[in-house]
Amino acid sequence: MGRRPLERIPFTLSLRTQLVLVTSALIALAIVVTSLVAISALRAQMVHQLDDEMKANSANLLSLVSNNSQHPVQEATLGSYHVYLLDEHGNTLYALSPDTSSRDEPQVTGWTADKVRKNNGVGTTVNSVEGSKDWRLLPMTLNNDTSVNGVHATSMVVALPLEQTNQVVALVGVLTFAFGLATLASAIAMTWVIVTRTFEPLARVEQTAAKIAKGDLSQRIEDYNPGNEIGSLATSLNTMLAQIETSFNAQAKSEAKMRQFVGDASHELRTPW
């Protein structure tokens, strides 16, 4: 059977480098996931606050629109609110905005009475009629007492721009990205130091093993804490080396005795009686 594809790939990186890379990748993944979750939660919370704000001010806005449908309204009274009264077909009967000269308005077409009834009091995000600004829109069903110029208004739509929310989220995203990079760099440096210090005894074991491979059986591995893997490995290797050295010494003594015996026998054979 042939070797599996992964087994044919030559790994030229050291084990220390591989550990640092894997650890760094996991830390980076954790930072990215945590940042995305935090930013999404922040945006959702800010949008929810906008919905609550529009709901809390809906009664005042309706009163303002009903009482001033024939009169101009001060911009300071509205703040950033855009208010629309719609008929049952979704046509705009009356619109009130802080800046009547601006063409950057939320998209409110298509909000029929049935659609508003199904989404009554539920905020949704819409685009601008012109431009790229996003808006948070809150549709609400009105009672039968609301009318504009004799035309019955079935729905009111309140909208607030999401520009400030998006700016805050973007700023938090930039800060989170910068903090994440700094954290990742620090984590990589700390991981490299820790792994290097952890693998230092193994490097010494490797150096000692290289000397032994060259024939110096007197070498011994430095004693380490026997409670960890490196200490256990060092103890086992030192025991094995002692046994090998004893065996080689015994063999050398046996060979010396054999040579002495052969020499004595040769001498006896050459000596005449």
Closest by CA to 82, choosing from 163, 202, 27, is 163
Q: What is the pLDDT of residues 130-150, one digit of tens each?
A: 877 899 999 999 876 676 666
The rounded distance, in Å, linking the Cα atoms of 246 and 241 is 8
pLDDT at 6 over 60: no
pLDDT at 118 over 90: yes
Average pLDDT of the chain is: 81
Q: What is the pLDDT of residues 220-259, one digit of tens each?
A: 766 666 666 767 777 777 777 777 777 777 777 777 777 7
The rounded distance, in Å, linking the Cα atoms of 2 and 184 is 40
The rounded distance, in Å, linking the Cα atoms of 27 and 29 is 5
Q: Is 0.75 topped by the overall pTM?
A: no
- Reported as a pLDDT band with limits 50, 70 and 90, residue 266 is low
Half-sphere exposure of 21 (CA within 13 A, CB side): 6
Q: What is the pLDDT of residues 173-208, one digit of tens each?
A: 999 999 999 999 999 999 999 888 887 777 777 777
Which of 90-94, 116-120, 171-175, 244-248 has the weakest average pLDDT?
Answer: 244-248
Closest by CA to 83, choosing from 72, 71, 97, is 97
Closest by CA to 91, choosing from 157, 144, 159, is 157
- Extents of the domains making up the chain: 15-173, 220-262
Q: Which residue has the higher pLDDT, 68 or 53?
A: 53
Residue 241: count other Cβ atoms within 10 Å of its Cβ. 18
Domain 15-173 has CATH 3.30.450: yes
Which pair of tokens denotes residue 23?
Answer: 């650890």
Closest by CA to 219, choosing from 229, 230, 233, 205, is 205
The rounded distance, in Å, linking the Cα atoms of 55 and 140 is 9
The H or E element spanning position 155 is: strand 155-161
The rounded distance, in Å, linking the Cα atoms of 45 and 56 is 16
- Dihedral over alpha carbons 176, 177, 182, 184 (to 10 degrees): 110
Closest by CA to 195, choosing from 24, 4, 5, 12, is 24
